[in-house]
Amino acid sequence: MLKILGRATSTNVQKVLWFCDEAGVAYDHDNDIGGAFGQNDTPEYLAMNPNGKVPTVIDDHFVMWESNSVIRYLARKHKSALYPSEFEARNLVERWMDWELSVVAPHQGTVLVGLVRTKPEDRDNAKIEASRQAWARGMTILDGQLGETAYVAGDEFTLADIPLGPIAHRFFSLDIERPDLPNLRRWYEALSTRPAFQKWCLIEMA
């Protein structure tokens, strides 16, 4: 059975868990790795994932890391309709998945760590604010896309929505200044009706 290693408070772990529930892929989940749990810096873990990050995903004897790559692999293996086979439609999905990694993920991480995991007296407020602004600019781009389509890569829910959903939850849940982004809000509320998103993403941030 598929094994997913990593704490569920990680957005990258959430992507894999959410996809598996959406696609009906059976798995075992070891939550007690990463963050406050530790164990991701042991020789055994680093032998599987030299980055020392979560998740690490094991499919029989095949070991995977990098969450977006993992969910693409699983979608192909299980022939999920969330990953369209038509060439141009698939490219749109992959484009937004890559965009998530390069444009918004680094900044939301900086803001979360700064505001949730760092004591007020130890915060680099200038760094947090710079990342908040960059994150808001990225989400404004996404809002523009969602003004054209119901979901990120078109009018159907696809693999492109999964990496961005947990980031949207943090964007709307953290105590930060945000621009008014009605298309983003409408999409986030639509995701929030999905049971797997509720289970894995609408949880306390840590």
Q: What percent of the chain has pLDDT over 90?
A: 96
pLDDT for res 39: 86
Tell me, which fold does domain 87-198 have in CATH?
Glutathione S-transferase Yfyf (Class Pi); Chain A, domain 2 (1.20.1050)
Q: Which candidate, 90, 100, 79, 88, places its Cα nearest to that of 161?
A: 100
pLDDT class of 93 with cuts at 50, 70, 90? very high
Residue with tokens 């809000």: 185
Where in the chain do CATH 3.40.30.10 domains reside?
2-77
pLDDT for the residue numbered 36: 82
* CATH fold label, 2-77: Glutaredoxin (3.40.30)
Q: Do 38 and 88 meet the contact criterion of CB atoms below 8 Å apart?
A: no
pLDDT digits (tens, 9 = 90+) for 125-158: 999 999 999 999 999 999 999 999 999 999 999 9
So what's the pLDDT on residue 42?
96
CATH 1.20.1050.10 domain extents, the chain: 87-198
- Rounded to whole angstroms, what are the CA distances from 173 to 33, 93, 94, 135? 24, 26, 26, 14
Give the count of alpha carbons within 13 A of 171, CB side only. 31
Mean pLDDT, the chain, whole residue set: 97
Model pTM above 0.85: yes
pLDDT digits (tens, 9 = 90+) for 160-200: 999 999 999 999 999 999 999 999 999 999 999 999 999 99
